[in-house]
Structure 1
């Protein structure tokens, strides 16, 4: 099934796209582990919370898409985050299935496609990711019907955003998650599937000690 981002034959407006923000539960020893060389386990948790909150309060405010918060497990932090920002942010809570990142991303992408919506997945590590950045991806898909995918690359070899019209089971096949090969492997799969794609300007994830200076503003 393909989620077409255009007016249907009756001239009806297509359903709003879904933007699924992925976030791990803030548990000691399970988040920001690459920062352990310079931060204590609790400091890693605190940084993770700040990043999740920053992305949430930045992107869950737009009217042009439906924001969803996809979490690894139930945690009071997520409920507090949504409650504290209920007057300015619009979102709903969803739970990631078990499995690798590809399995978890697929759940959100397939949900969007099943509802006839363009689906966008983003992480919670990029504080320069804005609603305008997301909307630029959606605009490309709308303006260029031949496009199936828009990627927001990360400087570390991953991606901060993935927007698609049509999901395919081979999209994440063989992707080595957590490595600097992720983006190249994803693009390889997209090209094998014959999907047309465009890339946005790359952004920085905050994932390693050398990235900490970027987090000083939050």
Structure 2
């Protein structure tokens, strides 16, 4: 099996464009700062795995991202379109693990567990408490997992599992973690706003 690629989807933290659901509580600068902290923390975790890390970004450019996050990572601008388009553009080659930068409790152990799961199973999922997932890993490019999805709803995880079960595919599920998306989520991680 090829080495697992770790693909992090993020954006350059421009005030007014990052973590927009937090803006009513924190303002544009505060919301962008939370996003910046979360992305930097996630990148450091991914580095510790020793795997190849690709940053698929929106906003900024390769130079801006390299200055921000370092020159030891690969940078790929995200295509226009919805999450389906962005995932499908990054799906080759497998195996690949997709992550976002919204999960403050993510640890190296979670990512390593996902890498190990892909040695045994076709798909690994890290479920989020809101019905979505913070991580999904694929041995091979199974595009059906991303097409016609009801993104940003509580249906993402159940729909994904139903598709896997309909095809009789082997999958593993990691620990449930919480995402930081809404103002009420901030109470869980006071360090994010300090």
- TM-score above 0.5: yes
Helix, strand or coil: the match of 2:16? coil
Cross-structure match for 1:74 = 60
Cross-structure match for 1:9 = none
One of 2, 24, 28 as aligned partner of 2:15: 28
Moved over 4 A (4+): none
Work out whether residues 49 and 112 of structure 2, in 8 Å CA contact, stay in contact via their aligned partners in 1: no
Residue 151 of structure 1, CA deviation: 0.1
Residue 77 of structure 1, CA deviation: 5.1
Instruction: Quote the Cα distance in structure 2 between the aligned partners of 1:100 and 1:186.
Output: 17
Q: Which protein is bigger by CA-based radius of gyration? A: 1
Which whole-Å deviations, capped at 9, do the CAs of 1:147-206 have from their partners, x for residues lacking one? 210000011111111011122332212211112221112222222333221100111111
1:100 is aligned to 2:82: yes
Residue 31 of structure 1, CA deviation: 2.0
Residue 28 of structure 1, CA deviation: 3.0
Work out whether residues 155 and 202 of structure 1, in 8 Å CA contact, stay in contact via their aligned partners in 2: yes
Cross-structure match for 2:98 = 121
Work out whether residues 26 and 77 of structure 1, in 8 Å CA contact, stay in contact via their aligned partners in 2: no
Cross-structure match for 1:209 = 183
One of 140, 156, 164 as aligned partner of 2:117: 140
Instruction: Quote the Cα distance in structure 2 between the aligned partners of 1:181 and 1:25.
Output: 28
Unaligned runs of 5+ in 2: none
Work out whether residues 34 and 208 of structure 1, in 8 Å CA contact, stay in contact via their aligned partners in 2: yes
Could you state the TM-score of these two structures normalised by the residue count of structure 2?
A: 0.89
Unaligned runs of 5+ in 1: 6-14
Which whole-Å deviations, capped at 9, do the CAs of 1:102-155 have from their partners, x for residues lacking one? 111122222x23xxxx1000000112212221111121221x2xx210000011
1:188 is aligned to 2:170: no
The number of residues matched between the two structures is 191
Work out whether residues 172 and 189 of structure 1, in 8 Å CA contact, stay in contact via their aligned partners in 2: no
Could you state the TM-score of these two structures normalised by the residue count of structure 1?
A: 0.80
Q: C-alpha root-mean-square deviation of aligned residues, in Å?
A: 1.8
